[in-house]
Chain A
Amino acid sequence: MLNYDKSRFERIFRDSSNEREILVHNASFFQDTLKRFKKNKGAVVGLIVITIVLFFSLIGPFMNSYKYDQVMTEYEKLPPRIPIVEKLGILDGTIVETKTKARAKINPDYERIVKEYVVNGKEMVDVERNIYKEKGFDDVYFWFGTDTLGRDQWTRVWTGTRVSFYIAFLAVLIDMVIGITYGMISGYKGGRTDTIMQRVVEIIVGIPRLVIVTLLVLVLNPGLMSITLALILTGWIGMSRVVRSQVLKLKSFEFILASRTLGSSDSQIIIKDILPNIFGQVLVMSMFSVPSAIFYESFLAFIGLGLQPPMASLGVLISDGYKSIMVYPHMLLFPVVILALLMLTFNLLADGLRDALDPKMKEE
C-alpha cells in the first residue's frame, strides 16, 4: 500500500459552509431560461428583426413628408429609388421590360439594353428603363416606389405594418385575458360549470373561423372592427384549453391542497400558486397565436373582407400590388417580404421561447 501522510486521514465534521459549496451550481430558473434563449440563434435573430420592424413601423411614416393616403397621380407607379443605394445599380428607379428587338425603340436618355437573346427564332431584348429620368423627376425619391395612385409605398408599408402589430398585440391580449380567465374558471370550478363551459368551447371550435368572420363582415362591414371582434370570439379557445388542462393537473398537486388547508382563498391560490406555474406555457402559446392572427388579418384584407383602401395594411397592399404583379412586381415585393418576415420571426421567437422554457424538449 502506498505511503500516505497520517494527517490526511483526520475526520472532518460537517458544517454549513461545506454544504453551500454544492448549491452554487444551481442557477435560478429565470437565468437558466435566459441562457437557453440566448443560445437559440433563430429566436434571438427573430427578436432583433421584430424590434427593427417595429421601430420602422413607428418611425417610418414620419421619415418623409408623404401621407399614407396622399394621392399624387403624377407620381403613379414609380419603382423604388433610394439615394446612394441607386449608385450600386439596385433600387435606382428602373424597371426591366422584355420586348422584341424590332419593336424596341431605345431612347438613350433613360433606356438601355441589358440583354439580347433569341426565343423561338425571334430576337428579344431586355430593356432597362429609368422611369424617374423618363418623366423628369430628377430629385424625386420614393424609397419603396409608389402605387397605382401615386401614393408613397414606404409610408403605406410601414403604416400597414402597424396594423399587423396591433393585431399581434390584440391576439396576445385576448389570449392572456379571455383565454386564461375562461380556462381558469372552467378548470378550477370543475363540475357542472366546467361541463357547460366545455360544451360551449366545443361548439365554437366546431364553427370554422372563416365562417364567423364572414358573417361578422356581413353584419358590420369589412374593417378592423370585424376582425377585432372575430378574434375576440375565437382567438382564445386554444389558450383556454391549455390553461384548463394545466389547472386540472395542478389542482391535485399537494402544494395546492396544502395551501387550501392552510386557509388560502381561491383567488390567492390562483394568483400565488397556479398562475406562476402556468405562465411559461401561456407565454409560449400566446406567441404562437401571433403569426396566425397576423396572417388572418392580411388574408382577409387580401380577399377584400378586411381593411379597405385607402387604409393601409400589409394585406391591403398585397391585394393592390397583386393586381399589377406582371408589370410592377415591386408593389408586391415590399409588403410580402415584411409580412413573411413578421410571421417567420414570430414563429422563431415562439419556438425559441418554448425550447428555453421547456428544456426537456431539447435535451440533446
Chain B
Amino acid sequence: MKKILRVNDLRISFKTNSGNVQAIRGVSFNLFKGETLAIVGESGSGKSVTTKAIMGMLANNATVEQGSILFDGNDILKLTKRELTKIRGSRISMIFQDPMTSLNPTMTIGKQIMESMLEHRKMKRSDAKIKVIELLDLVGIESPSKRFKSYPHQLSGGMRQRVVIAIALASEPDILIADEPTTALDVTIQSQILELIKELQMKLKISIIFITHDLGVVANMADRVAVMYAGKIVEYGLSDEIYYDSKHPYTWGLLASVPDMSTKVDMLYSIPGTTPNLISPPVGDAFAYRSEHTLKIDFEEQPPFFKVSDTHYVASWLLHEYAPKIEMPEHLQRRIKLMLSEEY
C-alpha cells in the first residue's frame, strides 16, 4: 500500500514566558493512501500541533527541533511559504474543531467555499459557483443555491460544520485532516457528521487523518490508530489491534473512558491525574505517574517501541521480557466487544 505522508521523528517546542514547552517529542507515523488514520489522546497531548505542522501552520513561537514530514517527495518543513500555500488547501486541507468560530462571520458561506477553488484551480467565477452548489449538496445541505448567500450565523452548528467540510473538499485534496470535527456538536449531529465524512471518503477516495480524544468516535472509521500521550505516540496499530488487543495502559484508560452509549450511564471513567508539564518533561515514561502498572524503570528511562506485530508497536516497558505480564483487563475487553458489536 502506498504511503502518502510520512512523519519522521518530529520534535517541536514552543517558546513561552515560563519556558520551552516541548509539545512534540519524537513522533513518527505513516498515512496510507485511501486510509483513515486516527490520532487519539487527551487534551494537550500534541495532536493539534502535529496537524498544524503538517499544514505548515505552526504558531510563530514554535521551533521544529528535528524531523521531517514527507509529502510527494518533499519535506513540508523545508518548503518556502509560497510552495506551502500551493499544497495547503489544495492537496492537504483541514476541518477545524469548532464550527461556531471557524467561519468568517462577515462573509457569505458561498464565497468562503469558492475562495480556495478560485485560488488553486483557477476556475471561472460562474463555474466555481456551480461547483459550490454541487458541493453544498454533496455535504447534505438542503436548498444549496439559496444557502449560497447565507452568513454563518444563519446556520446551525451541524450545518456550519458541513460548510467547513465543503470548504475543505472544495479543492479536491489528497489528504483531509479533521481535528476533532465533532467534539463541539450534539451527539445526534455528531454521528451525522461522522457518517458524512465516512461517505465522502468512500466516494472521493481521500486519505484522512482524524484527530479525536474519544476512541469511540473513530471505532468504525479508522483503519489505523495512533495513541498520543505527552507529545509522543505510545501505541500504534491497526484498528482491530488497538480495540481488541491493545498493550499500553494509557490506551486501556482511553478505551475505558469511551462513553457507553447503549447503557446511557452518566458515570464516565476518566484516567486519574493530569498530563505532565511539558516544560520539563519527566525523565522516563511520562505516563508512569498515572499508570496503575508502574515499573521502577519507568522513572529512569523512556521506553523504546516494542513490536507486537508488523503493524502494531507499543512504547511501554511492560512489553519488555523482564516485566511482569500484564494484559488488557478482562472486563474492558468484554465491554469493548459488546459496544462495538451493538452500537456501530
Interface string of A140-165 (1 = CB under 8 A from B): 00000000000000000000000000
Least CB separation from A7: chain B residue: B296
**Could you tell me the distance in whole angstroms from the C-beta of A294 to the nearest C-beta in chain B?**
32
Question: Which B residues lie within 8 Å of A6 (CB)?
Answer: 322
Segment of A9-17, A103-111, A267-275, A295-303 engaged in the interface with chain B: A9-17
Q: Which of B60, B273, B294 contacts A364 (CB 8 A)?
A: B60
Given known contacts A364-B60, A364-B61, A8 and B273 CB-to-CB distance under 8 angstroms = no
| Given A19-B273, A363-B16, A1 and B321 contact (CB-CB distance below 8 Å) | yes
A199 within 8 A of B: no
In the complex, what residues of A have CB within 8 A of residue B273's CB?
Answer: 19, 22
Taking CB atoms, residues of chain A closer than 8 Å to B277 are: 25
Residue A120 interfacial (CB < 8 Å): no
Say whether A261 faces chain B, with CB atoms less than 8 Å apart.
Answer: no
The answer to whether B16 and A12 touch across the interface, beta carbons within 8 angstroms, is: no
Interface residue A41 (Cβ < 8 Å from any Cβ of B): no
A18 within 8 A of partner (CB): yes
Confirm or deny: A189 has a beta carbon within 8 angstroms of a beta carbon on chain B. Answer: no
- A135: CB under 8 A from chain B? no
Q: Give A14 to B289 CA distance when docked, in angstroms.
A: 8
Taken together as a complex, chains A and B put the C-alpha atoms of A1 and B305 apart, in Å, by: 11
Asked if A4 is at the interface (CB within 8 A of a chain B CB), the reply is: yes
Within 8 A of A (CB), among B191-216: none
A11 touches B295 (CB 8 A): yes
Find residues 251-299 in chain B having any chain A CB closer than 8 Å to their own CB.
273-274, 276-277, 289, 292-299
B323 — which chain A residues lie within 8 A by C-beta? 9
* Cβ contact within 8 Å between B289 and A22: yes
CB of B315 to closest CB in A, whole Å: 14
Contact B322 A9 (CB under 8 A): yes
Q: Are B289 and A12 in contact, with the CB atoms below 8 A? A: no
Interface string of A32-49 (1 = CB under 8 A from B): 000010010000000000
Complex Cα distance A9/B319, Å? 11
Interface residues on B, range: 20 to 34
How far in angstroms is the closest Cβ of chain A from B228? 20
Decide if B296 touches A10 in the complex (CB within 8 Å): yes
Q: How far is the CA of A99 from the CA of B73 in the complex (A)?
A: 80
The distance in angstroms between the C-alpha atoms of A39 and B274, with both chains bound, is: 28
- A156 to B70 CA separation, bound complex (whole angstroms): 74
Tell me if B243 counts as interface (CB < 8 A to partner A).
no
Chain B's nearest CB lies how many Å from the CB of A205?
26
Chain A positions 328 through 364: 1 when the CB is less than 8 Å from some CB of chain B, otherwise 0: 0000000000000000000000000000000000111
- Of all chain B residues, the one with the shortest Cβ separation from A12 is B294
How many Å lie between the Cα of A12 and that of B284 in the bound state? 14
Of residues 92 through 136 on chain B, the ones whose CB sits less than 8 Å from some CB of chain A are none
- A11 pairs with B321, CB closer than 8 A: no
Chain A residues with CB under 8 Å of B274's CB are 22
Chain B 6-25 interface residues, beta-carbon cutoff 8 Å to A = 16-17
Q: How far is the CA of A22 from the CA of B291 in the complex (A)?
A: 14
Q: Are B295 and A12 in contact (CB under 8 A)?
A: yes
| B61: chain A residues within 8 A (beta carbon) | 364
Is A18's CB under 8 angstroms from B289's CB? Answer: yes
CB of B52 to closest CB in A, whole Å: 15
* Residue from B299, B320, B324 in contact with A4 in the complex, judged by beta carbons closer than 8 Å: B320
Answer whether residue B229 sits at the interface, using C-beta atoms and an 8 A cutoff. no
Contact of B297 among A8, A22, A364 (CB under 8 A): A8
**CB-defined contacts of B142 to chain A, threshold 8 Å:** none
Determine the chain A residues whose CB is within 8 A of the CB of B289 once the complex forms.
Answer: 18-19, 21-22
Residues of A within 8 A of B17 (CB): 36, 39, 362
Determine which residue in B61, B297, B317 has the highest number of CB atoms from chain A within 10 A of its CB, and name it. Answer: B297
Of B59, B276, B289, the most chain A CB neighbours within 10 A belong to B289
Residues of A within 8 A of B299 (CB): 12
Q: Which residue of chain A has the shortest Cβ distance to B14 in the bound complex? A: A364
Contact A9 B60 (CB under 8 A): no
A176 to B73, CA, bound (A): 64
* A364 contacts across to B, CB distance below 8 A: 16, 59-61
Answer whether residue B300 sits at the interface, using C-beta atoms and an 8 A cutoff: yes
- Is there an interface contact between B297 and A9, defined as CB atoms closer than 8 Å? yes
Q: A4-B297, A14-B294, A39-B17 are in contact. Are A9 and B276 (CB under 8 A)?
A: no
Q: Are B276 and A14 in contact (CB under 8 A)?
A: no
CB contacts (< 8 Å) of A12 on chain B: these are 294-296, 298-299
Does A10 lie within 8 Å of B295, measured CB to CB? Answer: yes
Cβ of B322: which chain A residues have Cβ within 8 Å of it? 4, 6, 8-9
A11 touches B294 (CB 8 A): yes
Q: Which residues of A contact B297 (CB under 8 A)?
A: 4, 8-9
Closest residue to B292 on the A side, CB-wise? A14
A9 x B294 contact (CB < 8 A): no
Residue-by-residue, is B16-39 near A (CB-CB < 8 Å gives 1, otherwise 0)?
Answer: 110000000000000000000000
CA–CA, A19 and B61, complex, Å: 32
Nearest residue (CB) in B for A362 is B17
| Contact A8/B296 with A19-B273, A22-B274, A22-B289 known, Cβ cut-off 8 Å | yes
Which residue of chain B has the shortest Cβ distance to A10 in the bound complex?
B296
A7 to B323, CA, bound (A): 10
With the chains together, A25 CA to B19 CA distance in Å?
A: 13
Knowing A4-B297, A14-B292, A14-B294, say if A9 contacts B324 (CB, 8 Å).
Answer: yes
Contact partners of B293 in chain A: CB under 8 A:
11
Residues of A contacting B300 in the complex (Cβ-Cβ under 8 angstroms): 8
14 contacts between A and B (CB under 8 A): A4-B297, A9-B295, A9-B317, A9-B320, A11-B296, A12-B294, A12-B295, A12-B296, A12-B299, A19-B289, A22-B274, A22-B276, A39-B17, A364-B59
Can you name 5 extra interface pairs (CB under 8 A) apart from A9-B320, A11-B295?
A4-B297, A9-B323, A12-B299, A21-B289, A39-B17
- Which A residues lie at the B interface, using CB under 8 A? 1, 4, 6-14, 18-19, 21-22, 25, 36, 39, 362-364
